[in-house]
């Protein structure tokens, strides 16, 4: 624009002088009008493109070409006027040629515009100069000047394209640097929040557990802990495990490494189970906890396709939060099938309620609402993690709340009318250790951590099985080669031979042990699980293990051959 203004200041007096040679006042006025209209159109186009920086390149190209052709038309009009200007003919035609070269210059930034506008602008003066014998010498000189100007404009275009490329690369590097800086700052904040949250929750929880264990061990001359103290210590330990699990799941989901399964499951049965589990706690506070299922949904065909374990985690967070924060009144889980083909599970309560700002804070990681969260344990990750899990399953988590009225959190999941969820009979066959195997099993546990091994032994013996412990994978292979076992449980990370290599070695043993069911007990991500399964493990159990989790994994592995022999009629009831 500054160069165009300078050109305008220089050319306007020249154009006025040229217009004065017009044959009549109407022609002169038309010349001035053409100049004014061209300038107004040029200014409007440049200003409009500045206001629309995201304009497509093709549209910018058209505007550039049209603007250049308008000025080429003005040059042609001057050449036409000059051709009849008598003694001023040749000076005016030379000035028209100079105007054409100006059009070359302003079209130079865009090569297509230069190739279109330059010939159009040069045509008028050249045709006029070569039309008469007395001006052909000037025409040849103008032709050479225009050719030189065209060559210089092509060089300018080449240089400007290089500059544009460098500028674009620089902007991309600046944007990339900004993104990396933002990610680094976000990671630093996340780590700081993790350290702050875990240090507070773990310190408080472990202090209580330590005091109870010290009393149980008879240290300091204190009396043995009461049943209430043991229950409180157990509750604190469970809260610590929940905080750690939520933190790890949140970080894994944030980094995009959280793997979810996709299988049909019954959300109604899942919701009713969680309501039954939380009802004693709600009843102890005098809060009614109920579930309502739309009558049409009870008879509807179909199921939700997703990760049942993660869906249970989301619903457990929603129902658990409602029971935790509701001091009186009622909590209801309402299940209905919406018109858009989604299943919604709305958990409404008569708790303290949240304002719009507090509700936004509640969904931020490691942030808790001070007004309602004082004295209530937690890491502030339940709602943010639940929303991430819902999104990963193709659903959503919405919320409504009002202070003094209560809150309603709606968990939406995609509904497939053609999917078929497992029946309760199938579920019991797959998850009940008694149904899978009525006899005591001989289990080989390969675990290098003594505490984890002791915990697995206690759980397996509680389930009625006999346990042999190997401290590493190589020892497990030696024991399996010498003895017969009904089941093998392998730690995913062990010295000498890890879980995947141990499973592969067991499958290569000659004899019955080559077909023994193998459970990989892992603490890593989906990649570690896939390595163990590819190596020969039948199922995967994630740490930290629980009695229910071990029982389910043992049942899955033991029922691998049993399901083949179960008649179809038995499976469908």
- 225 and 321 share one domain: no
Phi then psi for residue 218, to 5 deg, are 80, 20
**What distance in Å separates the CA atoms of residue 556 and residue 132, rounded to the nearest whole number?**
101
Least confident span in 234-238, 249-253, 284-288, 521-525: 249-253
- 88 and 125 share one domain: yes
Dmax (CA) of the chain: 126
**What distance in Å separates the CA atoms of residue 491 and residue 544, rounded to the nearest whole number?**
12
- 489 and 344 share one domain: no
Q: Is residue 469 part of a domain?
A: yes
The pLDDT-based confidence of 381 (bands split at 50, 70, 90) is low
- 440 and 412 share one domain: no
The pLDDT-based confidence of 151 (bands split at 50, 70, 90) is very high
Residue 264: predicted pLDDT: 87
The CATH number that applies at residue 325 is 3.30.565.10
**What distance in Å separates the CA atoms of residue 364 and residue 230, rounded to the nearest whole number?**
34
At 415 the three-state DSSP class reads strand
Average pLDDT over residues 448-462: 85
Task: Tell me if 74 sits within 8 A of 35, measured CB to CB.
Answer: yes
Residue 515: predicted pLDDT: 84
Residue 110: predicted pLDDT: 84
| Of 181 and 422, more confident | 181
**Closest among 98, 92, 81 to 31, alpha carbons compared:** 81
Cis peptide before 544 (omega within 30 of 0): yes
Tokens of residue 503, six digits: 């499973």
Q: Is residue 174 part of a domain?
A: no
Least confident span in 80-89, 131-140, 354-363, 370-379: 370-379
- 409 and 434 share one domain: no
**What distance in Å separates the CA atoms of residue 165 and residue 157, rounded to the nearest whole number?**
12
| Domain-ending residue, one of 254, 288, 308 | 254
Least confident span in 81-95, 172-186, 345-359, 446-460: 81-95
* Strand runs labelled E in 44-102: none
Tokens of residue 364, six digits: 């931020």
| Of 200 and 214, more confident | 214
Task: Tell me if 232 sits within 8 A of 212, measured CB to CB.
Answer: yes
Q: Is residue 326 part of a domain?
A: yes
**What distance in Å separates the CA atoms of residue 481 and residue 497, rounded to the nearest whole number?**
15
Contacts of 451 (CB under 8 A, 6+ apart): none
Phi then psi for residue 502, to 5 deg, are -65, -45
DSSP characters over 99-113: HHHHHHHHHTTSHHH
SS (H, E, C) 238-254: HHHHHHHHHHHHHHHHH
Tens digit of pLDDT for each residue in 491-511? 888 888 888 898 898 888 887
Q: What is the dihedral of CA 500, 506, 507, 511, to 10 degrees?
A: -170
- 467 and 521 share one domain: yes
DSSP characters over 283-301: HHTTEEEEEEE-HHHHT--
- 457 and 532 share one domain: yes
Contacts of 218 (CB under 8 A, 6+ apart): 224
**Closest among 153, 151, 154, 100 to 129, alpha carbons compared:** 100
Residue 371: predicted pLDDT: 63
| Of 100 and 545, more confident | 100
| Of 252 and 548, more confident | 548
| Of 425 and 549, more confident | 549
571 pLDDT more than 70: no
Q: Is residue 177 part of a domain?
A: no
Residue 427: predicted pLDDT: 46
Cross-strand partners of 342: 414
Contacts of 174 (CB under 8 A, 6+ apart): none
How many domains, in total, are found in the chain? 4
Tens digit of pLDDT for each residue in 21-65? 666 666 667 777 777 787 778 778 878 888 888 888 888 888 888
| pTM for the structure as a whole | 0.47
Least confident span in 174-183, 373-382, 404-413, 417-426: 373-382
Cα angle 307-313-314, degrees, rounded to a multiple of 5: 90
90 pLDDT more than 90: no
The CATH number that applies at residue 560 is 3.40.50.2300
At 491 the three-state DSSP class reads strand
Least confident span in 53-57, 497-501, 517-521, 560-564: 560-564
Q: Is residue 81 part of a domain?
A: yes
- 66 and 46 share one domain: yes
DSSP characters over 2-35: HHHHHHHHHHHHHHHHHHTTSSSHHHHHHHHHHH
The pLDDT-based confidence of 333 (bands split at 50, 70, 90) is very high
Task: Tell me if 447 sits within 8 A of 453, measured CB to CB.
Answer: yes
Task: Tell me if 466 sits within 8 A of 441, measured CB to CB.
Answer: yes
Expressed in angstroms, the distance from the first to the final Cα of the chain is 83
Average pLDDT over residues 129-145: 89
- 466 and 500 share one domain: yes
Cβ neighbours, 10 Å, residue 270: 20
Least confident span in 71-85, 89-103, 195-209, 499-513: 195-209
222 pLDDT more than 70: no
Average pLDDT over residues 275-301: 87
548 pLDDT more than 80: no
**Helices vs. strands in the chain: H and E counts, helices first:** 21, 12
The pLDDT-based confidence of 261 (bands split at 50, 70, 90) is confident
The pLDDT-based confidence of 240 (bands split at 50, 70, 90) is low
- 126 and 26 share one domain: yes
424 pLDDT more than 50: no
Average pLDDT over residues 550-565: 64
| Of 201 and 552, more confident | 552
Q: Is residue 464 part of a domain?
A: yes
The pLDDT-based confidence of 572 (bands split at 50, 70, 90) is very low
pLDDT over 70 for what percent of the chain?
74
Total residue count of the chain as it appears in this document: 573
Q: Is residue 194 part of a domain?
A: no
Tens digit of pLDDT for each residue in 163-210? 988 988 999 999 899 888 887 877 676 666 666 655 555 666 666 667
- 434 and 397 share one domain: no
- 12 and 89 share one domain: yes
Q: Is residue 178 part of a domain?
A: no
| Domain-ending residue, one of 254, 286, 311 | 254
Residue 93: predicted pLDDT: 84
At 52 the three-state DSSP class reads coil
Task: Provide the mean pLDDT of the chain.
Answer: 78
Q: Which domain holds residue 250?
A: 211-254
573 pLDDT more than 50: no
DSSP state of 222: P
| Domain-ending residue, one of 131, 160, 178 | 131
**Closest among 395, 324, 327 to 362, alpha carbons compared:** 324
pLDDT over 90 for what percent of the chain?
11
């Amino acid at each position: 624009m500054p160069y165009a203004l300078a050109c305008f200041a220089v050319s306007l007096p020249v154009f006025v002088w040229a217009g004065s040679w017009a044959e009549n006042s109407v022609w002169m006025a038309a010349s001035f009008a053409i100049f004014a209209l061209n300038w107004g159109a040029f200014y409007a186009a440049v200003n409009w493109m500045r206001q629309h920086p995201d304009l497509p390149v093709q549209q910018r190209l058209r505007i550039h070409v049209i603007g250049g052709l308008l000025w080429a038309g003005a040059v042609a009009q001057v050449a036409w006027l000059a051709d009849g200007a008598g003694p001023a003919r040749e000076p005016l035609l030379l000035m028209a040629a100079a105007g054409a070269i100006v059009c070359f210059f302003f079209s130079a930034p865009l090569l297509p515009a230069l190739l279109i506008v330059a010939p159009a602008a040069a045509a008028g003066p050249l045709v006029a100069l070569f039309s008469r014998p007395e001006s052909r010498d000037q025409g040849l000189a103008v032709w050479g000047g225009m050719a030189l100007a065209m060559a210089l404009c092509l060089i300018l275009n080449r240089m400007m394209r290089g500059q544009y490329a460098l500028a674009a690369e620089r902007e991309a590097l600046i944007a990339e640097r900004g993104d990396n800086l933002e990610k680094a700052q976000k990671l630093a904040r996340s780590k700081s929040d993790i350290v702050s949250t875990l240090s507070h929750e773990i310190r408080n929880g472990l202090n209580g557990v330590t005091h109870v264990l010290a009393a149980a061990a008879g240290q300091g001359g204190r009396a043995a802990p009461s049943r209430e103290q043991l229950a409180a210590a157990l509750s604190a330990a469970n809260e610590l495990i929940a905080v750690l699990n939520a933190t790890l799941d949140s970080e894994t989901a944030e980094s995009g490494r959280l793997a979810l399964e996709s299988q049909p499951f019954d959300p109604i049965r899942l919701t009713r189970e969680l309501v039954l589990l939380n009802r004693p706690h709600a009843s102890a506070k005098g809060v009614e906890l109920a579930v309502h299922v739309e009558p049409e949904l009870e008879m509807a065909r179909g199921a939700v396709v997703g990760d049942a374990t993660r869906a249970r985690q989301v619903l457990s967070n929603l129902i658990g939060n409602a029971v935790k924060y509701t001091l009186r009144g009622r909590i209801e889980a309402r299940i209905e099938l919406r018109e858009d083909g989604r299943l919604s599970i709305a958990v409404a309560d008569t708790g303290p309620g949240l304002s719009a700002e507090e509700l936004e804070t509640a969904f931020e990681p490691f942030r808790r609402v001070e007004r309602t969260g004082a004295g209530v344990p937690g890491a502030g990750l339940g709602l943010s993690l639940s929303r991430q899990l819902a999104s990963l399953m193709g659903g959503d988590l919405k919320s409504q709340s009002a202070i003094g009225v209560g809150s309603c959190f709606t968990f939406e999941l995609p509904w497939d009318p053609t999917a078929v969820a497992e029946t309760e009979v199938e579920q019991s066959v797959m998850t009940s250790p008694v149904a899978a195997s009525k006899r005591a099993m001989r289990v080989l546990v390969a675990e290098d951590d003594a505490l984890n091994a002791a915990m697995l032994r206690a759980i397996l013996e509680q389930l009625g099985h006999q346990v042999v412990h190997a401290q590493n994978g190589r020892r497990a292979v030696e024991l399996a080669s010498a003895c017969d076992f009904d089941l093998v449980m392998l730690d995913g990370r062990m010295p000498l031979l890890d879980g995947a290599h141990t499973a592969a070695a067991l499958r290569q043993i000659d004899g019955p042990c080559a077909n023994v069911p193998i459970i990989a007990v892992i603490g890593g991500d989906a990649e570690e699980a896939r390595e163990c399964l590819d190596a020969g493990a039948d199922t995967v159990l994630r740490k930290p293990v629980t009695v229910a989790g071990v029982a389910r994994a043992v049942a899955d592995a033991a029922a691998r051959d049993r399901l083949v022999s179960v008649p179809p009629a038995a499976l469908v009831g």
